[in-house]
Structure 1
Amino acid sequence: MSVLFLASLIIAVLVLWLVLQRNQSTRKALTRSVQRRQVLQSLINQKDSENTQASLLSRLQHIMLTKLAGIYRVFYAGSPVMLMKHLAFPAGAAAGITTLNGLYIGFPGSWVAGVAGVGCFVVFYGMLKKRRRKQFSADFSEALTTINGAISSGRTFLQAMSDYSQSRDNALAGEFRTLSRRLNLGEPAETVFMESWQHYPYREYYFFIVAILLNINSGGRLREVLAKLQRSIGSGIAMEKKMLSMTSEMRMSARITGAIPFIFLILLKFISPENFEFVLHDERGKVLLYYLIGSELFGLMVIKFLMRKL
């Protein structure tokens, strides 16, 4: 017993050390993010005195509105038809799961409806967000190649961006078309690019905006900067694919391990209905059910925390 306790204590210390290390790396990453934001604000001559005077409630409201706007853009996908389609699919999936539960399984209907509704929308939103990110990476790499080639041939940046927007039919081309039109109308470049960054809050697009604003404010060789940015994006995509391939087994193992208890609970309905009823409706059996749900949620949160950058 003492050996088992000592082994458990060592494992707990190792897990705690790992969590502390990840927290430290997260703080460093957040510090770098704040520094980048401050640099961008200094580049576009924005004073953050209004932000310091703003109340905590208004800041939280702004963050929530920004998050909701980002979720809406992911579901909207450029047209109201796609919005209705993206909302109808998870709603139909949740309704199907609830119906199947009522016909064959027998879990509490309110629980299943709530979990299925939220879960389907969250899963579908994650899929749409990942697809949008992947599509942006492909389109943005192509856009950098086109714009860099046009600048090398003597075109200005606005002309190169306008040429790309007219020759392509995708979401990024539409965004560049809006940027070109607003800049040609004389709107401040800082405001235009910052609003565009809200539509595509990605790291490489941030660096692209910084390079453009630096070129507007102080001049420089934009073609070389865009070429370096394009190479860094290509290497980053290759590194991301390598990381995903190296961690695919670990991520799949975590998903299978998390699904096994619920699969066996469903099988219990058909193998031993009396034990299934005991777990769901008896006060002593509900302790096992609550333990199952609590341990699963805790394990998922730990795995999500440890693998949040993968």
Structure 2
Amino acid sequence: MLWPALIFALTALATALILGPEEGDPVRRRLADLERLRRTAVPGAEPPGAVGPPGAGDPSGDPPLLRRRSAARGAARVLAAIGARLGRFRAGRTGGRSADRPRTPLHSPAFERLQQAGIRMLPGEFLLLRIASAGGCALLGLALGLGPAAWAAGLAGYGLPALWLRQRLARRLRAFETQLPDALALVAGALRSGYSFLQALAVVSREMPDPVAGEFARVLREHKVGVPLEDALTALSRRMGSADLDLAVTAVLIQRQVGGNLAEVLERIGGTLRDRLQLLGQIRTLTSQGRLSGWIISLLPPALGLVLYVMNPGHVGLLVQHPLGWVMLAMGLLMQTTGILVIRHLVNMDV
């Protein structure tokens, strides 16, 4: 009965080999990329340290002059490498991809989702976590004598980390939207005090808690490495997926194009968002009874099934050992999921 666990272990080992240092190590990948860029940045340029004999290419044969020319060639190679690197960065930001730019874990959508949720893991590590969760749940099902239902437990275990990631994303987005009105008020106050917009963003990144501070600090870091501020703000709006942030970013972009009193605009937007948050709080209070009923209805059948299995395993064993029991469990799970979705649709209101 342990052969399913053996399959899960072999799958985890194969995944670890596939995502080994050659594919999953971003540091080694980045070093190899920079070395290739250094070699191809200036075609025909001599490698560092390859200085010709005195007098070659210089009629005067002056050693200090040769050293200065060698330093100038080295500086030209560095500037060419930086220019090529910046061009590749802008091409990747606009959707293009160079032929020699590999897709690493640091450029994948899965990595972006992990960063949005505040989870400091690589996609390969998160995949191994899902496989380990599936194997643990399958072993638990085998230990409880569930038989073929242990496969269902393994599938459920594989989906648990994804559910946890989704909850972390939703929780972080709610925290961001809760802090956004105060952040906009802080930016408006800094602008009225004579700060520039970038300095106001720096104040927010220092004074506000996460996740607002971390996201605004990321905008500043992207701007420092050459990304236009408009593009960095647009990337922030797309990354967070918040309608409130979209409104603020749109106001900033319009102000930078046509001018106007940005401090007053941000204050008005912050006040509107604060009123909206208060209305959402009232709605959550009024719908709390429905949400509690949904939790009870969702958790009651599995809890009763577990209690009956502990009290009389033979009475409940038919559900997991007979094909008719599997059909009944599948139908019950389908109806349970339908009820949860209906309750969720009733208690969730958009404002």
The one-letter code matched in structure 2 to 1:114 is: L
| TM-score, scaled to structure 2 | 0.58
Partner SS, residue 220 of structure 1: coil
**What are the within-5 Å matches in structure 2 for residues 240-259 of structure 1?**
240-259=280-299
Which one is further off, 283-292 or 248-257?
283-292
Q: Following TM superposition, by how much is the alpha carbon of 1:250 offset from its aligned partner in structure 2, in angstroms?
A: 0.8
Unaligned segments of structure 2, at least 5 residues: 1-93, 96-106
Which one is further off, 182-191 or 144-153?
182-191
**For residues 87 and 226 of structure 1, do their structure 2 counterparts lie closer, same or farther at Cα, with a shift above 3 Å needed?**
farther
**What are the within-5 Å matches in structure 2 for residues 11-160 of structure 1?**
68=110, 70-75=112-117, 77=118, 79-80=120-121, 97-104=137-144, 106=146, 108-118=149-159, 120-160=160-200
Which one is further off, 276-285 or 108-117?
276-285
**For residues 92 and 245 of structure 1, do their structure 2 counterparts lie closer, same or farther at Cα, with a shift above 3 Å needed?**
farther
Which one is further off, 97-106 or 215-224?
97-106
Percent identity of the aligned residues? 20
Partners of 1:90 and 1:247 in 2: how far apart?
34
- Deviations 1:68-116, CA, capped at 9 Å, x for gaps: 45522234x27449x96x8898777666654544334636211111113
Partners of 2:121 and 2:298 in 1: how far apart?
36
2:130·2:161 contact (CA, 8 Å) conserved in 1? yes
The answer for the alignment partner of 2:327 in structure 1 is 287
The answer for the alignment partner of 1:44 in structure 2 is none
Please provide the CA RMSD for this pair: 3.5
Q: Following TM superposition, by how much is the alpha carbon of 1:194 offset from its aligned partner in structure 2, in angstroms?
A: 1.4
Q: Following TM superposition, by how much is the alpha carbon of 1:181 offset from its aligned partner in structure 2, in angstroms?
A: 5.2
| TM-score, scaled to structure 1 | 0.65
Q: Following TM superposition, by how much is the alpha carbon of 1:162 offset from its aligned partner in structure 2, in angstroms?
A: 2.6
The size of the alignment, in residue pairs, is 244
Radius of gyration: which is bigger? Answer: 2
1:161·1:180 contact (CA, 8 Å) conserved in 2? yes
Q: Following TM superposition, by how much is the alpha carbon of 1:132 offset from its aligned partner in structure 2, in angstroms?
A: 0.9
- Deviations 1:142-183, CA, capped at 9 Å, x for gaps: 322221111112222222223333455644334333434555
Partners of 1:172 and 1:269 in 2: how far apart?
47
Which has the larger helix fraction? 1
Unaligned segments of structure 1, at least 5 residues: 1-49, 52-64
Residue 299 (structure 1) aligned to one of 339, 347, 351:
339
Residue 207 (structure 1) aligned to one of 247, 263, 273:
247
